[in-house]
Structure 1
Amino acid sequence: MRRDFRITKEPLVMIIPMIDIMLFLLVFFMVSTIYMVQTNTIQVALPQAAAANMETRPNIVPITVTDKGDVLYNKDTVPNEQIEAKVKESLAEDPDTVFVLRGDKKTDYGDVVGVLGILKQAGGRHVSIATETARGH
């Protein structure tokens, strides 16, 4: 059998499956990043809010006020006198650092306001208060 070399057949490049795979990878990394931010914090019972959303900036520092009034700065228990120094240190590394204040719903209101005041004195511009989404909304 003789082959005719004048007839050439171009290979087909199927781009649709490649697009599907790329979109799947994009969604996978977006979802896994969201869960990594949430699991990097101490578990406390958060109050509920109807318009709760999650902060997704890269440099997020969680500050947790427990129901006993203890303050945890990025999982480390810190006395109130040292919080301002830690905040200034984080801001020196990245001025756009976001501080997420996570207060247990049984926490005294004065403890949370005290930490907010310390954040303001230290120069924290981006402060979020963590809540859970209210059920039924």
Structure 2
Amino acid sequence: MKLRDVRSHKVPELNIIPMIDIMFFLLVFFMLSTMYMVDLKTIPVKLPQAQNASTDTSTTFAVTMKADGSVYLGDAQTDINSLVMQARMEQKNNPSFAVVIRAEKGLEYGRVIELVDKLKGAGVSRFGLATDGGK
């Protein structure tokens, strides 16, 4: 009777479960880290609530208007005239230019419309109003 060598017929196993776990961990890590990279540099204000708000990350200018009358472009304080000049130059360079206005909750509505009117006069046609998501 001939005995077979056990080592010659054993097929090596490749266990890929730990590799899949590591790949999923890396995927989640990079997804979460990119979420923090998208955050716009703005100053904190109390925004009004909205139930059906959507998120837009392709904004070129994030303009913040506070109740005390100050205006910010990103996180730097500016005045309306220089903001309009910067918007006019950006509109010439970028046809998909958009402005998102982050008006503080207690701000008078007419001040927001005044800013939108001046930006429209500078040629800006795409606007958004920022809110806190209600969900």
The normalised TM-score by structure 1 is 0.72
**1:51–1:133 Cα contact (<8 Å) kept:** yes
How is 1:1-137 mapped onto 2 (pairs within 5 angstroms)?
Answer: 12=14, 14=16, 18=19, 20-38=21-39, 40-57=41-58, 59-134=59-134, 137=135
**1:49–1:131 Cα contact (<8 Å) kept:** yes
Given the superposition, is the C-alpha separation of residues 78 and 31 from structure 1 closer, same or farther in structure 2, using an over 3 Å criterion? same
Paired residue secondary structure (1:77) = strand
Which amino acid in structure 2 is aligned with residue 77 of structure 1?
Q
Q: Percent identity?
A: 35
Task: Give the total of aligned pairs.
Answer: 131
**1:102–1:129 Cα contact (<8 Å) kept:** yes
Paired residue secondary structure (1:116) = helix
**For the residues of structure 2 that align with 1:116 and 1:80, how far apart are their CA atoms?**
11
Paired residue secondary structure (1:125) = coil
Unaligned runs of 5+ in 2: 1-7
The normalised TM-score by structure 2 is 0.73
Unaligned runs of 5+ in 1: 1-5
- Give per-residue Cα distances to partners, 1:16-61, cap 9 Å, x unaligned: 655554454444344333333435111000000001222122x532
Instruction: Find the structure with the greater CA-based Rg.
Output: 2
Q: CA deviation at 1:10?
A: 7.3
Which has the larger displacement, 20-29 or 105-114?
20-29
**2:53–2:132 Cα contact (<8 Å) kept:** yes
Which amino acid in structure 2 is aligned with residue 69 of structure 1?
G
**2:72–2:78 Cα contact (<8 Å) kept:** yes
Given the superposition, is the C-alpha separation of residues 88 and 50 from structure 1 closer, same or farther in structure 2, using an over 3 Å criterion? same
**For the residues of structure 2 that align with 1:131 and 1:112, how far apart are their CA atoms?**
14
Given the superposition, is the C-alpha separation of residues 85 and 39 from structure 1 closer, same or farther in structure 2, using an over 3 Å criterion? closer
